[in-house]
Amino acid sequence: MSREAIQKALDDAGVSFDSVEAANVGYVFGDSTKGQRAVYEMGRTGIPVVNCNNNCATGSTALYLSRQLIAGNLARCALALGFEKMQKGALGLDGQGDVNPLDKHVDGMTELGGDRGKAPVAPWMFALAGQQHSKQYGTTKEQFAKVAYKNHKHSVNNPYAQFQDEYTLEEILGSKLIFEPLTKLQCSPTSDGAAAAILANEEFVKEHKLEDKAVEIIGMGLATDVENMLLDPISLVGFGMAQMAATKAYTQAGIKATDAQVVELHDCFSTNELLTYEALGLCSEGEGGKLVDEGDNTYGGRWVINPSGGLISKGHPLGASGIAQCAELNWQLRGLAGKRQVDGAKVAIQHNLGLGGAAVVTVYQKYGS
């Protein structure tokens, strides 16, 4: 999978692997030098390879590190790679006798929201955040389900999506209940996959005449949990760090959320997509349900959010998801997204979240805009 992803990225960029001066590789499960093993599929060139693991934000963290190399003039061309081959079933909290990195999150959520019973940890946490949003703002289970309806509908036009089936709202609401209000069709699946991106400085782009293939990263922010994360379920699933990362990225880019046309965000569960609308400043806090009802998250609305089908339909191979989001937004800004193309896309926002925690927000711009 990694070999295929790297080769497709190189072919798309129009460069050879010999041009790559460094690689940052993300994956969540596996031994420590799997990144090197994946890169060696392209040859052993002696370049530095760094492995990173930031839970579900791992892919965009690899992208962040490669961008740092370029911005710091430590490399002219770098690779960001993410991959994952996952075990069947829901993610667990199995440790190796040491402190679990999510212990404070789980303990805090248990204190605030009660026992999870037999529910897997991740949907339980994001379901409780959705329940809190409903209590505070009146958000309905239908509004959460409409997010999944939209993403499944978008995935029909994505040949890279793990699932490409459209469902009715009734089918989504009527699928197996995982934890109220989340049903199975509102949850991201277990997935295998890989994604890669080539980053280069402007000198390299011009030297190799790659202007027509280029998209600019004009802002990028990475943040971790803030002090108030134990206040409520919404804070515990990363709302504050997403806000912080977005502020950093928007400030660097000199934009507002309203300047974007297309967004790929971390819809591990439908509740989190709706919460993230507010964290990213697409609407005010408490108005995520209104944004859904007004259709401002799909074609014909204010933004097209998760045109790829999102994690719910495209799939969520943890280490690859952040770079797969990057690929989708690159295709959108270059007009290469086929039937899912967003008209007039010039600015794009990406959000990738990992509990424990890390949030990465990236702003892209069509080259030369």
Angle in degrees, CA 23, 276, 365, rounded to 5: 50
pLDDT tens digit sequence for 107-163: 999 998 888 888 899 999 999 999 999 999 999 999 999 999 999 999 999 999 999
Q: For the beta carbon of residue 259, count every other beta carbon within 10 angstroms.
A: 14
State the Cα–Cα distance between residues 189 and 186, nearest whole angstrom: 9
Same structural domain, 127 and 21: no
Same structural domain, 177 and 198: no
pLDDT of residue 90: 63
Same structural domain, 184 and 147: yes
SS3 content of the chain, % helix, strand, coil (to 5): 45, 20, 40
Predicted confidence band at 362 (pLDDT cuts at 50, 70, 90)?
A: very high
Same structural domain, 325 and 263: yes
Which residues partner with 196 through β-bridges? 81
Statement: residue 327 has pLDDT above 70: yes
Catalytic residue among 56, 77, 187, 326: 56
For 108, residues 6+ apart whose C-beta sits below 8 A from its C-beta are 229, 230, 236
Statement: residue 273 has pLDDT above 70: yes
Q: What percent of the chain has pLDDT over 70?
A: 98
Statement: residue 260 has pLDDT above 60: yes
21 belongs to a structural domain: yes
282 belongs to a structural domain: yes
Summary mean pLDDT of the chain: 95
pLDDT of residue 66: 98
pLDDT of residue 113: 81
pLDDT of residue 118: 85
Domain limits for position 7: 2-87+192-213
Core vs surface per residue 43-60: b (16+ CB within 10 A) or e:
eeeebebebbbbbbbbbb
Domain of residue 33, CATH code: 3.40.47.10
Same structural domain, 169 and 286: yes
Predicted confidence band at 231 (pLDDT cuts at 50, 70, 90)?
A: confident
The structural domain count of the chain equals 2
Predicted confidence band at 91 (pLDDT cuts at 50, 70, 90)?
A: low
Q: Is 56 a catalytic residue?
A: yes
Statement: residue 252 has pLDDT above 80: yes
Same structural domain, 297 and 222: yes
Same structural domain, 203 and 268: no
pLDDT tens digit sequence for 238-249: 999 999 999 999
Same structural domain, 48 and 176: no
pLDDT of residue 234: 96
Predicted confidence band at 37 (pLDDT cuts at 50, 70, 90)?
A: very high
Same structural domain, 126 and 270: yes
Statement: residue 284 has pLDDT above 90: yes
- Starting at the earlier edge strand, list the strands of the sheet with 77-84: 49-52, 22-26, 77-84, 193-200
pLDDT of residue 227: 84
Please give the model's pTM, rounded to 2 decimal places.
0.95
Statement: residue 175 has pLDDT above 70: yes
pLDDT of residue 226: 87
274 belongs to a structural domain: yes
Catalytic residue among 268, 316, 326, 351: 316
Same structural domain, 162 and 129: yes
Statement: residue 168 has pLDDT above 90: yes
Of 51-60, 96-105, 257-266, 269-278, least confident by mean pLDDT is 96-105
Predicted confidence band at 93 (pLDDT cuts at 50, 70, 90)?
A: low
Statement: residue 84 has pLDDT above 80: yes
pLDDT of residue 324: 98
